[in-house]
Amino acid sequence: MRLAVLKERRAGEARVAATPDTVKKLLALGLTVVVEAGAGIGAAISDQEFAAAGAEIVADAAAALAGAGIVFAVNAPDEAVRALIAPGTLVVATLGAASDPALAPALAAAKIDAVGLELLPRITRAQSMDVLSSQANLAGFRGVIEAAGAFTRGFPMMMTAAGTVPPARVFVIGAGVAGLQAIATARRLGGIVSATDVRPAAKEEIKSLGATYVGVDDDESAKQTGPYAGQMSDEFRKKQADLMAATVAKNDIVVCTALVQGRKAPVIVTSEMVASMKAGSIIVDLAAEAGGNCAETVPGEVITTPNGVTILGHRNWPARIAVAASALYARNLLTFLTTFWDKDAKAPKLTETDDIIKGALLTKGGEIVHPNFKPAA
């Protein structure tokens, strides 16, 4: 069976869905791996390195997809690429179907069998193929590193003969995978770190990393469980906003990581809060892709407000650390495929009663099969 790895066409996307290491393992399954020329350039992987690993390099998407039974991609293929994919082909990618209502019907109409790895259930068996966690982890790291680069006062406390440079005060909003990595990174850089999350269970995780917990504890937050936060009521958001106002004003760097999958990011840092911050302060909005947690964020841009606060609103944070992000993402895809690989048939076997397949399979046989995306009767 032929597996195609495509060059990403989304603006600003530097990641790739395979690496020379995963190509070798895919070949060991009995697959023929075809890589579109230039697919790995943004992740510092040359065509020659892919070829040395055993992949066939072809000139364009049409050549890569000719005869392919499986397609690995970072993002959902666009309309032009979908037109080149044969019916029955299995596409494995981060599809983003929750934010694009037209995608699932389009994939079904093209008779593409599509797996959206962002839809994986949060169960132990799926952890090693969880693209949201692997990419969010790197986004949290990168966000703090870029904040440190933009911050003009120095991060750790430094005692010199000329005087003492105080440490940066860092406040992390959201203690999921990205937030916890942001906390750990800011601590390693020497900052004084505090953090908040709507889930009470996060309190101990925050403290275990050496940060101070700041949060609203009530009946609604007590119901929040698991690694990802759910939608909160307006009343809770009001309580949270009051607490945030006091906390944001006294911090130098604010890292926003609060996301609800498939929905617009909740606005937590208001314009008034931004106005209360000192000149030279930094806001890192890891939720910019979904509109941003900060009211002043301009998705895709870095701006400085009239009072001197710099807001980093990059849309695709994992792509800003593309080498590491590609390595982890490629392993996620490899793990998914090997988990459901039929060694005798040398083909994927997606058993629809399996919890992982039930959670991640979006379309199959020309139909939308995921219950969250099926059209209303």
The tens digit of pLDDT for each residue in 328-371 reads 999 999 999 999 999 999 999 999 899 999 999 999 999 999 99
Judged against a pLDDT cut of 60, whether residue 219 lies above it is answered with no
- Say if CB 131 and CB 329 are below 8 A apart: yes
Mean pLDDT of 127-142: 97
Q: Is the dihedral of CA 170, 171, 173, 179 positive or negative?
A: positive
**Is 133 in the active site?**
yes
Compute the distance between CA of residue 137 and CA of residue 187 in angstroms, rounded to an integer. Answer: 15
Judged against a pLDDT cut of 60, whether residue 224 lies above it is answered with no
Please identify which of the residues 122, 263, 342, 355 carries the catalytic annotation. 122
Whole-number percent of the chain with pLDDT over 90: 86
Please identify which of the residues 47, 228, 261, 354 carries the catalytic annotation. 228
The strand pairing partners of 169, in sequence order, are 192
**Is 142 in the active site?**
no
83: alpha, beta or left? (left if phi > 0; alpha if psi -120 to 50): alpha
DSSP string, 215-229: ---SHHHHT--SSS-
**Is 228 in the active site?**
yes
pLDDT band (50, 70, 90) for residue 128? very high
Q: What's the farthest any 2 CA atoms get from each other in the chain? A: 74
Judged against a pLDDT cut of 60, whether residue 27 lies above it is answered with yes
Mean pLDDT of 272-276: 96
The SS3 call for residue 10 is: coil
pLDDT band (50, 70, 90) for residue 291? very high
**Is 315 in the active site?**
no
Nearest to 23 by CA among 120, 77, 47, 62: 47
Q: Residue 225 has what pLDDT? A: 52
Compute the distance between CA of residue 276 and CA of residue 300 in angstroms, rounded to an integer. Answer: 24
- Say if CB 179 and CB 199 are below 8 A apart: no
pLDDT band (50, 70, 90) for residue 263? confident
Q: What is the pTM of this model?
A: 0.91
Please identify which of the residues 15, 82, 113, 130 carries the catalytic annotation. 130
Q: Residue 222 has what pLDDT? A: 53
Six token digits for residue 176: 């999921």
- Say if CB 193 and CB 211 are below 8 A apart: yes
**Is 78 in the active site?**
no
